Every structure is written in C-alpha cells, then in structure tokens.
Amino acid sequence: MLSGKNILITNVTHFVGLVTSAYLKEKGANVAVCDPSFADADTLAGFQEANPDYTALGESAAVDIVAAAGRIDVLVNNDAFPAIRAPVDEADPQDMRDGLEAMVVAPFVMSGAVLPQMKERNKGKIIFMTSASVFHGLANYSMYVAARAAANGIALSLAQEVARNNIQVNAIAPNYVENPDYFPPELLADEKAYAKIVKNIPLGRLGKPEEIAALIAFYAGNESDFLTGHIVPAAGGWEM
C-alpha cells in the first residue's frame, strides 16, 4: 500500500504522531519524523534508540528538516497545541498568537518548504491534521477552533494551487480521539469524566488513534490520487 513511499511526520510525540508512524511503517513506508523536543540532543538520541525503525531529525527550521529528510513523497502536518478554555472577553491574546503560530504558521511554513521538490517531481501529497470542532464551533474555545479553521483554509486553497503539479492536499479533522494531548490516559481513567465525554458522541465511544492512522494511510497512498481539497471529519458523528 505504501511500499517505498518516504513520509515525513511532524510533531511526532504529539497528537496521533507515534501511532501513525508505526502504522505507516507497518504498511511499508519509510518514515522520517521531527519534533521540537528533538532540538535537545539527548532527547533526539533517546527517541532514535527507542524507535530505530524511523529516521528522527533534529533540525528545527522547516527548510533544514526537509533538506535532512531528502525525498519526501508525503508530508503529514501533525500539529498540536492546547485547547485553551477562555471566553473571548477573558482570553489572553498571546494565547491566540501562540496557537496560530503552532497550528497555522508552522504547517504553512513546512508545506512551503516541501513543495519545491514535489513540484519538481510533479507528484506529492500533503496532509493537514486539524479538528472537527470547526464544523460547528465550541463555546469558550474560539482560539483553538479559529486556528484549526485557518489550517483547513490553507489546505483547501493549497489544494487548488498545486493540483496542476499533481500534488494532492487534504485535511483530516478528528475530535474525541484518544491521544496524549487532548485525551490523556489519566483523564480517560476517570469513569465520571469519561462518561461525560462520550455522552456527546453519537457512536458512544472515543475514537482510536489507529483509526485516524488508517485514514492518513489512505490519503497518503496511491488510492487517493484523484482526491484533493477534502476536509474529512473523524469524530464518531459528533460533527454532524
């Protein structure tokens, strides 16, 4: 399915990065990963030792990460940032700026760094990880929702921009999926908290990160070559 494809996953220690890396590797991909924490040499070495099947990149700037990765067939912008609860009239504008930097500027810059080589080959795929929250908003979480909506906007516009270069751009928009950033194990271990969470989900359960990884694998593979400009919710029906 993904045999021989070179895939770069950003922010690998966050969101669905680790599970997706393992899943894509199992499907035959060559997986390179980066993460802000890898700027620390000991952290990078420890991750690489624990995960020898991936190529861990310690560079920080997008252009340097891309140069170190070499040929990139698929970029997965696996961006994450805390969903800060704050009414608009009480919110700290700096939190908004930081969220936009992490969830909008970062994938924008990374996509720009990888596009020249994809255009040269006339082939490539870029996948944005966003959020289903944009489909109907979340009271008191406007900073987070706005940033995710902006990333979706980039994906939709970029898909039209590079379609002539045979580059497909799509966004996967999860919510209520088990992951260390938004639904950590200690939260899910609280039975009352878990019941409160899942009552909002028509399917009555949280999603598994492997289910998101499978969706990423589909959009990374050749089977999706005619699909571009999609924003795909994955939230157990909550987004309807």
Rounded to whole angstroms, the Cα distance separating 238 from 211 reads 16
State which amino acid sits at residue 80: A
Please report which confidence band the pLDDT of residue 89 belongs to, taking 50, 70 and 90 as the band edges. very high
State which amino acid sits at residue 78: N
Residue 213, both tokens: 């990884």
Residue 77, both tokens: 């912008």
Query: Which of these, 181, 105, 92, 180, lies nearest to 142 by C-alpha position?
Result: 92
Q: Model pTM?
A: 0.96
219 catalytic, yes or no?
no
- Catalytic-role residue among 23, 54, 144, 182: 144
Please report which confidence band the pLDDT of residue 239 belongs to, taking 50, 70 and 90 as the band edges. confident
Q: pLDDT tens for residues 95-107?
A: 999 999 999 999 9
Rounded to whole angstroms, the Cα distance separating 116 from 137 reads 35
pLDDT of residue 37: 96
Q: What is the three-state SS of the chain?
A: CCCCCEEEECCCCCCCHHHHHHHHHHCCCEEEEECHHHHCHHHHHHHHHHCCCCEEECCCCHHHHHHHHCCCCEEEECCCCCCCCCCCCCCCHHHHHHHHHHHHHHHHHHHHHHHHHHHHHCCEEEEEECCHHHHCCCCCCHHHHHHHHHHHHHHHHHHHHHHHHCEEEEEEEECCECECCCECHHHHCCHHHHHHHHCCCCCCCCECHHHHHHHHHHHHCHHHCCCCCCEEEECCCCCC
Torsion of CA 225, 228, 231, 234, to 10 degrees: 0
Q: pLDDT tens for residues 109-163?
A: 999 999 999 999 999 999 999 999 999 899 999 999 999 999 999 999 999 999 9
Q: Which residues contact 61 (CB under 8 A, 6 or more apart)?
A: none
State which amino acid sits at residue 89: D
First to last CA, the chain: 31
Q: With contact defined as beta carbons under 8 Å apart, do 183 and 206 qualify?
A: yes
State the CATH architecture for 6-234.
3-Layer(aba) Sandwich (3.40)
pLDDT of residue 194: 87
Sign of CA dihedral 99, 105, 108, 110: negative
